[in-house]
Chain A
Amino acid sequence: MFHKFMLLQFLLVAFSAFAISRVVQKARQGLLSRGAGAVWAVLWLALGVAGALPQTTSLLANAFGIGRGVDLAVYLSIIALFYALFRVMARLEQQRQEITELTRALALREPRLSSDELKIKN
């Protein structure tokens, strides 16, 4: 059977394998938690499957009522990106507050008193 393999498919599978190996490596180094590592590994695996067997994306897309597999992938990616962005923004905001709390604690730990203030307090 003559199987025509697109360059893109090859690249997707190769990249997916590479990405999974990086995830495994980072998880082993302790840079990625087990949970996060698993999630990313599944995502990259899904990318690899989509690359090797593009029919799967069409099947999935039709289940959602969308014509093309690649369209579904784009829509899902956009939703995922928005969610990730929201999480990052919330995290940044939390960190901003934490930094201010630290800066404040340092400032209050060492008030510089003028001679006037020392007189008033004593």
Chain B
Amino acid sequence: MLPDDVFVIIPALNEAGRIGQTVTSVRQQCRRIVVVDDGSSDGTTEEALSAGAVVLRHVINRGQGASLQTGTNYALAQGAAAVVHFDADGQFLAEEIPGHIQSVLDGTADAVFGSRFLGRTIGLPRTKRWLLKISRLVNALFTGLWLTDAHNGFIALSRGAAERIRLTQDRMAYNTQLPAEVKRLGLRYSEQPVTVRYHRYGQGVTGGFRILIDLLVDKLVR
């Protein structure tokens, strides 16, 4: 069981029927679970609470990036020494959390990025694989970091990293902003093989375009 100053943050939007299972499996590894209900219209909050998580509720949907930042703020206020970002839908394996966070806990890294290409994927649709390769390139252009898996939500951060990184990209573009911040702040990072199981598609081509537009707008107006 991970120490009580490690927090797992799970952003969730309409994950009733899945979130309970996810929280329960994470609970085997970590007791401090923060589910951020990003404006769900189903029983996500209640289900997460029953399973043993703390729930922070966004009254309006703001996006995964915003949810993670909210959860991180809470965790830091509770004295977190490290935080782990974890998906609500069961794509990640809770058993991999301790391994993932190891180098943060022993102080050799400030940020650990999960990589399904270093690890393994189960049921990855072919088109999605190509989309990910393209987004890897786009990501490298925007962040200056070459990661093998551009948009992997399984991320571990030390307290120092979590305090210094402020996610202002509310939606999926946070996945690009985060490594960009790591680079800008000169934080030590590493990649960790992880398993990603697919039952739903996730970001498609239109999703990818939306992310690109968010990133460009950011460059244009700020």
Contact = CB atoms under 8 A, between A and B. Distances in A.
A112 B66 contact: no
Contact of A107 (B4, B36, B53): B36
Query: Majority SS of interface residues in chain A?
Result: helix
B74 A90 contact: no
Contact of A108 (B31, B32, B74, B217): B74
A106 B37 CA distance: 12
B165 interface: no
Given A99-B60, A104-B69, A110-B57, A120 B221 contact: no
B192 to A, nearest CB: 27
B62 interface: yes
Nearest to A90: B221
Interface residues on B, range: 20 to 34
Given A86-B221, A89-B221, A112 B69 contact: no
B73 interface: yes
Contacts of B58: 103-104, 106-107
A112 B221 contact: no
Given A90-B221, A120-B31, A112 B60 contact: no
A7 B66 CA distance: 55
Nearest to B60: A103
Contacts, number: 73
A100 interface: yes
A116 to B, nearest CB: 4
Nearest to B49: A114
Contact of A89 (B51, B56, B217): B217
A86 B221 CA distance: 7
Contacts of B66: 100, 103-104
Nearest to B4: A120
A44 to B, nearest CB: 29
A108 B60 contact: no
Tell which of B36, B50, B70 has the most Cβ of chain A within 10 Å. B70
A114 B24 CA distance: 13
B56 A107 contact: yes
Contacts of B222: 90, 93
A90 B55 CA distance: 33
Interface in B37-65: 45, 49-60, 62
A114 B4 contact: no
B55 A104 contact: no
A97 B51 CA distance: 32
Interface centre among B49, B52, B54, B218 (most CB of A within 10 A): B54
Nearest to B52: A116
A108 B70 contact: yes
13 contacts: A89-B220, A93-B222, A100-B62, A103-B58, A103-B60, A104-B73, A107-B57, A111-B74, A112-B49, A112-B56, A114-B51, A117-B32, A117-B53
Interface of B: 4, 31-32, 36, 45, 49-60, 62, 66, 69-70, 73-74, 77, 168, 170, 217-218, 220-222
